[in-house]
Amino acid sequence: MDRLSQKTVPSFFHIRARLPKAGRTNQVLGASKYMNVVLKTYATGGENELHAHSNEDHLFVVLQGSAIFYGPKNETKRVEKNDCVLIPSGAFYWFQAEEEEPLVMLRVGAALDPHKDILARIDIEGRSFDGYSEKNKEAPYILDEVKIFE
């Protein structure tokens, strides 16, 4: 993401990914000083620990599959293809992919302060929280040899 954010010319990309049979993937498609675009795929799981992004507003656009989003008071909202979720900086959430087909989402993030960590997230107690940690149930992925999202 850092390398892509240094570009000062337009970026062009095509949304395409091999789908996972297990786990999840993050493919950075483009980035600028203030914005990033990531294609996220999930065979199972999701962002499995309640958290908030402290330096970013972001948007999820569901391209395939469905998920349940949860709030800090255990409120729920099911989303499916063509649904969008806008998450302001500081809003706590987590989500779980439903398992009828792989979940594919386009994630667009906007930095509040481009000089601070765009990936910064906090747990419900305000402590720093690594999204690629065991706490967030990060696991190795296995890509399907045949299935592609495009």
Query: Domain for residue 148, yes or no?
Result: no
CA distance 83 to 136: 24
89, part of any domain = yes
| Average pLDDT of the segment spanning 130-141 | 78
Residue 116 within any structural domain of the chain: yes
Q: How confident is the model at residue 84 (pLDDT cuts 50, 70, 90)?
A: very high
Let me know if residue 145 belongs to a domain.
no
For the chain, the domain total comes to 1
Mean pLDDT (whole number) for 114-124: 92
The CATH number that applies at residue 127 is 2.60.120.10
Q: Is 64 inside a domain boundary? A: yes
- Tell me the residue range of the domain where 85 lies: 2-7+16-138
**77 within a domain of the structure (yes/no):** yes
CB 34 within 8 A of CB 89: no
Give the global pTM. 0.91
